[in-house]
Structure 1
């Protein structure tokens, strides 16, 4: 029955897109040569940028049916999104993972140029697409311009400085409903949302248990204040509350109940004119993770007459704040850039463990504190661009960085980069990009020991080289791109095969592959994007070459409009995966109907094929089971502008 229903849905979608007659242009803008800011820290057309680049507007990302950045990125070619919660949602100490070019913890994520990675993690499920102007994805090493964690790629989320006044509300499957409000009041832009979800069953599977999500609530608030055309403040606050339970496969009883409460705050003050950029930023995350065991024999909610909310309460605090500023100038045919970054990162963990004593029958409370740990970074970077002639240019960059950590640990890096770009006629270009990259070990990998892993204060940074060459072609109504890349990193950081699972530096990580994309607008009615990646990510791990992540990915996006109706189908196929994970094929469909000029009714179907797709993937030794995506969900709502 399930396979028959899937075939019916696929057939209906195919005929629906083919049968739609002539219509007006799509609401989202289609540009032949989009402007890119992130790659070279200066605004430049894609054809003039010596890097593999994808730019998506907020409207294009919303057309995937996603509410947040985390849920939308999976439909961009070359990005693998791995989630340990439904809809890309973070869950307690776990966070969604974004992987570019198979590089574990090798993607630097920024919001308005300010890094948001904290302790190797980022929470993109709290950034609303309603508040996003565009997202720039730069594949390949970006360490010279942006430092650690950028050896696989950089994602820069650029938020709106002005929003449209609107309110929206929707209801959906499994008790899921969402509500949002956007307001523009003079120089102040505000966006807020509330998303609640009901029970989502069987989202993990191991040999002994499975996990159900029994309810969640997410509040997200975003604000931007434009003091002047050059000075803007951005602030984001989010709060999550998630409940889940582990069910025994042998007894079908609840083994463990947990409640995750997470809050994230981010801010940035950004000044920018024609030649100067200064960004003061901060990101702060706090998690309260409550765990309560229950094998059916211990009455709840008391133990020995003592009221208890949890057997274990873990509180985690991470923070990152800093200053990044650079100056640009031009002399004859040469452009120069010089900048400095000052940054501090902190981590602290407190755990309260409650156990039952035999006599007297009252709980024994144990307090454990880890940290606080801190490290400081100072970096100088510079870049020189020489325009050889009208078609050719060469770019030289270098970064010097010093990091001071606990116990007197110091790391220094000197990172060079060479880029070359050549225009071939008016509509195509060829580029070469060679750069050295690195990743600092996280504070957890160095100092934190738990029941899952052991920290190692003697870890060295990963470092190595990234090589790529690519071709871009603007056709009459679209663009074609192809990039071949090689990534070779030493001192790969991963846990060893001992019972303690201590983090170690292993010999090597490597990957090479081909990325292709084709986007075209066939008419005022129909446009599409097609992308694909074939690669072979591997790590020399415990004396063997081990597979990492997937080898093959293909993405598809179709957009069609018919008078007041627009429809968007997004799909991402991932196969030849690590950890014996089966192929994944998330498909999303969104339909909008403009009932009035100010009112739009929308319907979104996520996981159209109702697949039980695995949403996590890593080396076999680091995973004992699978995490699964949510089943098919249907959401219907209305948006009103005023």
Structure 2
């Protein structure tokens, strides 16, 4: 994984990068510049990373990103939360090709990081820290932009794919075809993954009834692009995914509890460059999420359930970028961005059993305008500033801003960075309009959750042994304050804005390029997340996270990619061996080791072995659920 830095903490929209107008960005305004010139802490997970380290889901790929804590609550496909810099999982905005993918029908408007398969993904861009000034609601803790695969510009037809199988009856396959013909380019692909899985319920819980939670998932995607004129492009994309997987009851195995999740999303976008200085683009997109959870009575429990969640989102984005004139020796490389965003969301859901069945049938509209500016001053100092105003029907406007600076020290091969900004997260449709049979009602008068944050850091390249970048060291200190956080009231009859939190932390990274054949990377994150009223630590936020990984090529064509992940102790509600609630206390962390070995048989054909959790460590990332055991796959990958 390597860092990518774009102006004003912006994530690029790389679909344009290999086309006629590389600087056109459609969602918000994002001006690509050199990686040394941006104040934001960002990371990129490339297609090579996904293949070399054997990442199957988005949760796998995010596990080594500094400041990110991934918490699964079950086997493959089950709910997996992502805590960015100690914030709640709902405080992360996830984009797929620039379109928001957080589920409107989720009670917290959150994204399930364990459900997205990565075979059709070109790269994953991760921004840490508030980005509401560009991406609006939910971008308090960070943004994840998932960029799907696209066609090569120099081939009329390219066939690609992979197939693998191994332990737990696991079978994985993907394949597709893409190319460029004249002014048109196309891509069509599909993927599937099936496994019998593991028993995720800890053996310590009694009575213990071993029962594995299997998974079956399929996904397909299509892309069609047209370049009718120089510096002009029109493109359409369509993506579908369905997952079926087993679930367990609360703190107990349940052989008849299952889930089905479906999602499709599509968009049409176009852009052009005018007068050689102004780039403008328009995007129209739509998505649909449908989740069904069903439980039938069995020999162990008479409980039944049928929960159905349906969410829709329609989006219109208009983005512009104007390149500004140079100011002589005082300033240059200036750009002004501005645009408009409209979102319509609906949720029609029902869950639980009588008399406690809950439901929501509601919709809301949001409008936003944004502007940002960047300039390079005196050839050393990059300054950026931006703001955005969101207006959501029912609770009015929310204004956010972000300021940043990078000062380059070429004499020391170093850069100093600083940034400050604000963020907000709108209440979900369930939090505003949800109803339960127990008398609980949503609160339509809820205010957005708000945050203020700042960070300071830097990076330095250290030469040695004839290499100008033998070592690269990075360090960032961050601090955030949160107010108006949403929680249930004291009588548990509705939601109110009552909570406050204070979070601070340090992110450290070190890359050692020992030789052309050995690259080693390490990352460490220290986080202290506190409830401002009680000064107690927030649940499921470990103070310490470590990761070590590397790429080793001992002989030509052979690549060995080890990875070690360490999660420290974290506070959580603990349940004893009989499934009874005990208290909030420290839950033990754990260390997992992964290994991928690949060999390039021919120029475009490779064979590989993927092993995850080599030590078969079964620690509980959250009380009541253990991580999957050892999985080993063998397979081949090709491009023709």
Give TM class, smaller chain: 0.7 to 0.9
Shift in Å at residue 632 of structure 1?
Answer: 0.8
2:250 equivalent to 1:257: no
How is 1:128-147 mapped onto 2 (pairs within 5 angstroms)? Answer: 128-147=117-136
Q: Which residue of 2 aligns with 1:282?
A: 286
Shift in Å at residue 514 of structure 1?
Answer: 1.0
Q: Which residue of 1 aligns with 2:527?
A: 535
2:162 equivalent to 1:168: yes
| Alpha-carbon distance in structure 2 between the residues aligned to 1:32 and 1:58 | 14
Q: Which residue of 2 aligns with 1:184?
A: 178
How is 1:514-553 mapped onto 2 (pairs within 5 angstroms)? Answer: 514-540=506-532, 545-548=536-539, 549-553=541-545
TM-score calculated relative to the size of structure 2: 0.82
The verdict on how the C-alpha distance between 1:342 and 1:209 changes in structure 2, with shifts beyond 3 A counting, is farther
| Alpha-carbon distance in structure 2 between the residues aligned to 1:348 and 1:431 | 44
Maintained 8 Å contact 2:200/2:213? no
Counterpart secondary structure, 1:61: helix
| Alpha-carbon distance in structure 1 between the residues aligned to 2:207 and 2:223 | 45
Structure 2 gap segments, 5+ residues each: 13-28, 153-157, 274-278, 327-333, 463-467, 573-585
Shift in Å at residue 450 of structure 1?
Answer: 5.0
Q: Which residue of 2 aligns with 1:316?
A: 309
The verdict on how the C-alpha distance between 1:288 and 1:297 changes in structure 2, with shifts beyond 3 A counting, is closer
| Alpha-carbon distance in structure 2 between the residues aligned to 1:531 and 1:224 | 36
Shift in Å at residue 352 of structure 1?
Answer: 9.1
Q: Which residue of 2 aligns with 1:242?
A: 245
How is 1:469-548 mapped onto 2 (pairs within 5 angstroms)? Answer: 469-475=456-462, 476-477=468-469, 479-495=472-488, 500=492, 502-540=494-532, 545-548=536-539
Maintained 8 Å contact 2:400/2:423? yes
Q: Which residue of 1 aligns with 2:403?
A: 418
Counterpart secondary structure, 1:76: coil
Counterpart secondary structure, 1:59: helix
Shift in Å at residue 554 of structure 1?
Answer: 1.2
Maintained 8 Å contact 1:590/1:604? yes
| Alpha-carbon distance in structure 1 between the residues aligned to 2:211 and 2:264 | 28
Shift in Å at residue 495 of structure 1?
Answer: 3.8
Output the aligned Cα RMSD: 2.9
| Alpha-carbon distance in structure 2 between the residues aligned to 1:226 and 1:272 | 12
Q: Which residue of 2 aligns with 1:268?
A: 267
The verdict on how the C-alpha distance between 1:330 and 1:33 changes in structure 2, with shifts beyond 3 A counting, is closer
Maintained 8 Å contact 1:255/1:295? no
2:385 equivalent to 1:396: yes
Of the three residues 229, 232, 236, the one matched with 1:233 is 236
Q: Which residue of 1 aligns with 2:295?
A: 291
Shift in Å at residue 627 of structure 1?
Answer: 1.8
Maintained 8 Å contact 1:436/1:466? yes
Q: How many residues align?
A: 569
The verdict on how the C-alpha distance between 1:497 and 1:192 changes in structure 2, with shifts beyond 3 A counting, is farther
Maintained 8 Å contact 2:589/2:621? no
| Alpha-carbon distance in structure 2 between the residues aligned to 1:116 and 1:412 | 22
Shift in Å at residue 85 of structure 1?
Answer: 3.0
The verdict on how the C-alpha distance between 1:582 and 1:235 changes in structure 2, with shifts beyond 3 A counting, is same
The verdict on how the C-alpha distance between 1:297 and 1:269 changes in structure 2, with shifts beyond 3 A counting, is closer
| Alpha-carbon distance in structure 1 between the residues aligned to 2:420 and 2:596 | 40
| Alpha-carbon distance in structure 1 between the residues aligned to 2:454 and 2:338 | 24
Q: Which residue of 2 aligns with 1:349?
A: 349
Shift in Å at residue 195 of structure 1?
Answer: 0.9
1:593-641 Cα distance to aligned partner (Å, 9 max, x none): 223333321111111121112233xxxxxxxx42221011111112233
2:564 equivalent to 1:571: yes
| Alpha-carbon distance in structure 1 between the residues aligned to 2:171 and 2:427 | 39
Q: Which residue of 1 aligns with 2:427?
A: 441
Shift in Å at residue 206 of structure 1?
Answer: 8.9
Counterpart secondary structure, 2:291: strand
The verdict on how the C-alpha distance between 1:129 and 1:241 changes in structure 2, with shifts beyond 3 A counting, is closer
TM-score calculated relative to the size of structure 1: 0.82
How is 1:183-222 mapped onto 2 (pairs within 5 angstroms)? Answer: 183-186=177-180, 187-203=185-201, 212-222=211-221
The verdict on how the C-alpha distance between 1:244 and 1:511 changes in structure 2, with shifts beyond 3 A counting, is closer
Shift in Å at residue 369 of structure 1?
Answer: 7.8
2:366 equivalent to 1:377: yes
Counterpart secondary structure, 2:256: strand
Q: Which residue of 1 aligns with 2:633?
A: 635
Shift in Å at residue 47 of structure 1?
Answer: 0.8
Point out the more displaced range, 453-462 or 38-47.
453-462
Q: Which residue of 1 aligns with 2:37?
A: 48
Shift in Å at residue 490 of structure 1?
Answer: 0.5
Maintained 8 Å contact 1:203/1:629? no
| Alpha-carbon distance in structure 2 between the residues aligned to 1:379 and 1:209 | 53
